[in-house]
Structure 1
Amino acid sequence: MSPRGVAIEGVRDRLFEAAERLLAREGPGALTSRAVTGEAGCAKGLLHNHFADFDEFVAHLVLRRFRLLAAAAEALPAQAGLRTVAENMTAGALALLDAHGPAFAALALARPAASARIQEAWRQGEPGLDSIEASFAAYLRAEQHLGRLPETEDCGALALAVVATAHHLLMTARPGAADPRERLRGLVAALANRKE
């Protein structure tokens, strides 16, 4: 535990990382301010020194995850010309289904006040699914310019299909259900192998 009155470097990141560990280990039901600060090894009230309330913390936690996903998706256009289009799209799509994805989705849905803050942040321009979709479309257009994807392909529609499917799989994930990664791989393979 940190001594009272002693500043902790990177406290917000420390709290977010602790929350992610809790989500991965115990699911969204275990996430409380006390559990997060305990997992982070800091004073119980520290979270409230940095966030107005727990819903604000949850909103920032989810938005942070989307910023990381959007940053990873921004790297996708640089993959144009490397591996196959299907392999690149699959890798990009599977990144959206990381180990904590279903827990983050459940967490956002379970807390309406946090959800409202997330929606408002997206309206203000924070990266969300639309940013990720735009990066996927940019990647596909880059492949078109290289001649690896037909000019007739609607890159926006293909990007929407993949990102929307990943979102659907996240929102409908249930313990013990089939691995959503296999379903996403199947979608990308079907899109890649379809005939004009």
Structure 2
Amino acid sequence: MTDEGVQQNAPEGAEPLTGGALTRARVLDAAARLLATVGLTRTTTKQIAREAGCSEAALYKHFRDKEEIFVRVLRERAPRLADAVAELPGRAGEGAVREHLEALVRVAVPFYRRSFPMAGSLLASPELLAAHRGKLGDAGPHQVGVHLAEYLAAEQRLGRVPAALDPHAAALLLIGACFHRAFLEVFYADEAPPGVLLPPTTEEFATETVRVLLDGLAPRA
């Protein structure tokens, strides 16, 4: 990737990256490309450095090992699912519940879609998975469901979510739907048989999935 492409990953309004910050960004971009195409197990720091246009020694000035690069790629180069869901409990009572959940789906599906190719190799290696899990500590993938359930429970206390709804079950249903949708998109790439990806677009998927979650499947009187 060119330096211009690297700059596009910087937050809007931020100063152009230079020096060590630019090298770090180029390493993350290179690692994201290799992890998605080659896989974690087969990707080496030497390959990442070559792809980034820097020396392996320069790479190690910013990252301890390949696993740390993997974690940083997920946190900084994938859609910010953790940030989006962590903000939800504090927004209870604001706007419409349906809109908040639809916005979350629009972040979650791309996040899981981009994560699958990179995570495949990690899940296939018990040693790497254990090391990765140890580095995450309490910030594991379960936190997405935890924060979403906290948000739904807060809206429930405000009377904006049905009292009969189980916040934890509802959170898992929504996250699970996003996960499965992303899996199908990755599995079939651009060759999905007709009728497999329904609703056909992520936007329609978000709208319909949240509608079913909030309205339920039972016929109304």
Task: Please state which band the TM-score falls in when normalised by the shorter chain.
Answer: 0.7 to 0.9
TM-score normalised according to structure 1 size: 0.72
- In the alignment, the residues of structure 1 paired with residue 49 and residue 112 of structure 2 have an alpha-carbon distance, to the nearest angstrom, of 22
Within the alignment, does 1:117 sit opposite 2:124 as a pair? no
Aligned match for 1:76, one of 82, 88, 98: 88
* Amino acid in the other structure paired with 1:109: G
SS in 2 for 1:147: coil
Classify 1:131/1:67 alpha carbon distance in 2 versus 1 (closer, same or farther; 3 Å): farther
Number of equivalenced pairs: 185
Taking the TM superposition and a 5 Å limit, the aligned residue runs for 1:30-41 are: 32=43, 33-34=45-46, 36-38=48-50, 40-41=52-53
Identical columns (%): 27
Within the alignment, does 1:108 sit opposite 2:119 as a pair? yes
1:88 Cα deviation (Å)? 1.1
- For residues 155-177 of structure 1, what are the alpha-carbon distances to aligned partners after superposition, in whole Å with 9 as ceiling and x for unaligned? 11111111222233334432123
Alpha-carbon RMSD: 3.4
Aligned match for 1:138, one of 139, 150, 175: 150
- In the alignment, the residues of structure 2 paired with residue 180 and residue 144 of structure 1 have an alpha-carbon distance, to the nearest angstrom, of 30
Within the alignment, does 1:169 sit opposite 2:191 as a pair? no
Classify 1:186/1:82 alpha carbon distance in 2 versus 1 (closer, same or farther; 3 Å): same
* Greater RCO (Cα-Cα under 8 Å, separation 6 or more): 1
- For residues 77-114 of structure 1, what are the alpha-carbon distances to aligned partners after superposition, in whole Å with 9 as ceiling and x for unaligned? 2333334322211211221122x632322212124254
1:117 Cα deviation (Å)? 2.4
Q: Which runs of no fewer than 5 residues in structure 2 stay unpaired?
A: 1-18
Classify 1:148/1:154 alpha carbon distance in 2 versus 1 (closer, same or farther; 3 Å): same
TM-score normalised according to structure 2 size: 0.65
- In the alignment, the residues of structure 2 paired with residue 12 and residue 41 of structure 1 have an alpha-carbon distance, to the nearest angstrom, of 11
Taking the TM superposition and a 5 Å limit, the aligned residue runs for 1:1-196 are: 8-9=20-21, 11-20=23-32, 22=33, 27-29=36-38, 32=43, 33-34=45-46, 36-38=48-50, 40-62=52-74, 68-98=80-110, 101-111=112-122, 112=125, 113-122=127-136, 124-125=137-138, 127-172=139-184, 173-174=186-187, 175-176=189-190, 177=192, 178=197, 181=202, 182-194=204-216, 195=218
Structure 1 stretch displaced more, 108-117 or 44-53: 44-53
- Residue pair 2:39, 2:121 contacting (<8 A) in 1 also: no
- Residue pair 1:19, 1:36 contacting (<8 A) in 2 also: yes
Higher share of residues assigned helix: 1
SS in 1 for 2:131: helix
* Amino acid in the other structure paired with 1:105: F
- In the alignment, the residues of structure 2 paired with residue 52 and residue 9 of structure 1 have an alpha-carbon distance, to the nearest angstrom, of 16
